[in-house]
Amino acid sequence: MRRSLAISAITLAALGGCSADKGTGMASYASSTAWDSGAYDGAYADGGSTAGTSTDNGDTTYAPEDENSFFALSPASTAAYVFVANPDRDTVTRVSVPSLAVITADVGSNPIAVATTSDYSKAVTFNEGDDSVSIIDAESMTVSDVDVRSNFNTMSMSPDGRWVVCWHDTDSTQTESNGGGAESFNEVSFVDTENLTHTPLVIGFNPHGVQFTDDSNTAVVVSDAYVAVVDLTADSLDPNRIALSDDLVNPPPAEEVILAPDGTYAFVRQFGASDLVVVDLASGQVDQIAVGENPTDLDLTPDGLQAIAVARGSQELWLYDLADPFAPAQVVDMPDTEIFGSVLMSPDGSRGLLYSTATGDSRYASWDLATNDITVRELVKPVASMGISPTGETALVFHPKDNGNDVSPDSTFYDQWALTMIDLTDDFFSNPLRLPAEPIDYANSQDGTQGFFVMQDQPYLEVLHYQSLLYDEVELKSNPVFLGVLPESTLAWVSQEHDLGRMSFYDPDTQIMQTITGFELNSGIEH
C-alpha cells in the first residue's frame, strides 16, 4: 500500500543552497569521520563489559571505551529524498526535496535501520520484527522483501549499495530475542539488493562490525577471534576466516577493524593486547605491530594517510604510516596524570580531542598534531560522547546523568543530563547546558553554523548556534522520534509520535515551524 500527500504549503524558495545533511559520522563502528560518539552505559570504574576489563595506572580497573552511537536509527538521505523508518507503523516515509511531498510505503515488521544506495536509486530497510530486508525503489516506492537469518539487530551497506549485511551486535541498543528456540551469534546475512538473493554465512562468534573496501569488492567482518574476508565479486560467497591470535583458548577479544584506503590491509584492535593485528587481505597473512598497552581506540586520520591508536594502559598515542604500516610508529606521550582512551579528530586533521567514557573523570584534552602539545581541560561532568562540528570550530560533549568521580552534590549538573558546546577556534570557552532528559538524536548542517537535537519524551527541538554558543528551544506537537536536515536546504525535520504519522519542518532562518499530521491518511498541515 502506498499513501501520499504533497506539502505544497511549505515553501523553500527563500532558502539558501548550502548542502546540509545529518551528522552521519557519529561513531559508527570504526568510524573515521568528523563525528564520533559513544553512548555512556553507566559503567565507570569496575563497570561491566562484554569485552572484559583492563588495569591502568597500576591499580584501577576500567571497562572498555564505549563508542556506541546515540543513533539507534539514522535517516537515509539522497540528493532528492529523505527516507525515514517508522518502526511502530511498519512503514518507511519518503520526503521529496524541495517539494516536501510525502509518500509512505509498507515494509516489513519493525524496520530499525534504513540506508540508501550511492546512486540514490534504492532505499533498504532491515526489519527486525520479521527478520527481513525491504528493498525500496526510490522513484516508484515499490517494495521487494528478502528474508534473512533470525536474531539480528544491525545492518551495514556497501559503498556501491549493492550489498547489505545483517548481523547481531551485542553492544547495540537494538536488542531483541527471537522469543525461543536456538540462537546463533556466529552468523551474518549477505543480501544482494540487485538480484534479491540472500547468502547466510558463519563468520565467527560475536561479530563487532563490517567494513568494505572502497570499490565494494571485499567485505571484512571482525568477530571476537576471527576476521572473515568475503570476496563480493565471486559467483558464490565463501568467507575466508582468519584467526587473529595463536592462542585459540583465550585470545584477546577483537573490538575494532579499519581498512587501509587502498584495500591492502585490515588493522584490528584487540582489547587488552599490546599489538595491533595486521591482515593482508589478498594473502590472508597475519602479522602484529606494537601498539603500547591496552589499545582502546583506533581511527584513520581524515586524509586516510595514517592510523592513530590510543594505548590507554601506557598513556600513549601511536601513529602509523599506512603506506608502510610495518615502519616504526610515532609515539606521543599523553599526560601521566590523566587516563584517556578515545580520540576524536577534527575534519582537517590538525587537532585531536582526547577523552574517556570509562574513567568517570570530568576532563578532556586538546592535542595539537603540529606540535604534539596536549592541554587538559575541565568539564562539568564525565563524557558520554564527543563530536566536532563539520567545520571543526565547535566541539560538543554529551554528558551522562550519572556523576562519575568528581561532580559535587552541590553542582547544578548533579544527577542531570547535560551537553557542552566548546569553542575550538580561540580560548576553548564553553557553554554547558543542563538537560531534562537523555539526547536521543542529533543532526547538523554541513555549513557548520547550527546543530539540532531532541531528547527522550521531551516535545522540543533544540537548536545550537555553534559560533555564538547560544541555543534556541522550539516546541513540538508531540514527542520526537528521529530528526535530520533536508539535503540542499537549511530545514530541519523531526518525525514524532503519532498513530497516523507526524513530521515537523523548522526553518532556523525564519524561526518558523510547520507540521504535517496524519499524512498516512492524507491529512493536512497544521500551522
As a whole number of angstroms, the distance between CA 202 and CA 189 comes to 9
Name the grid cell of 153: 539487530
Mean of pLDDT values over 401-410: 93
Q: Which of 28-37, 314-323, 442-451 has the highest mean pLDDT?
A: 314-323
Q: Which residues are 61's β-sheet partners?
A: 55
As a whole number of angstroms, the distance between CA 47 and CA 368 comes to 31
Contacts of 87 (CB under 8 A, 6+ apart): 73, 110, 111, 112
- For residue 60, being part of any structural domain is answered with yes
| Nearest CA among 245, 282, 238, 239 for reference residue 260 | 282
Q: Is the pLDDT of residue 34 over 70?
A: no
Residue with cell 559508527: 28
Q: Report CA Rg, the chain.
A: 23
Q: Is the pLDDT of residue 318 over 80?
A: yes
Output the average pLDDT for the chain: 83
The per-residue pLDDT for 248 is: 73
Residue 58 lies in domain? 31-64+214-437
The per-residue pLDDT for 77 is: 60
| Nearest CA among 301, 310, 334, 307 for reference residue 319 | 307
The 10s digit of each residue's pLDDT in 153-184 is 999 999 999 999 999 988 765 545 555 566 77
- For residue 405, being part of any structural domain is answered with yes
Mean of pLDDT values over 184-195: 92
Name the grid cell of 479: 514527542
- For residue 389, being part of any structural domain is answered with yes
As a whole number of angstroms, the distance between CA 498 and CA 517 comes to 8
- For residue 240, being part of any structural domain is answered with yes
Mean of pLDDT values over 52-61: 42
Name the grid cell of 405: 568521580
- For residue 38, being part of any structural domain is answered with yes
Single pTM value for the model: 0.81
Mean of pLDDT values over 227-235: 95
Q: Kindly report the number of other CB atoms within 10 A of residue 394's CB atom.
A: 23
Q: What is the CATH number of the domain that holds 380?
A: 2.130.10.10
- For residue 298, being part of any structural domain is answered with yes
- For residue 85, being part of any structural domain is answered with no
Q: What is the DSSP letter of 521?
A: G
Query: Which SS3 state, helix, strand or coil, does residue 303 take?
Result: coil
Mean of pLDDT values over 514-523: 73
How many domains, in total, are found in the chain?
1
Q: Taking the mean position of all CA atoms in its chain, how far away is CA 437?
A: 20
Q: Cβ-count burial of 422 within 10 angstroms (0-12 exposed, 13-18 middle, 19+ buried)?
A: buried
- For residue 36, being part of any structural domain is answered with yes
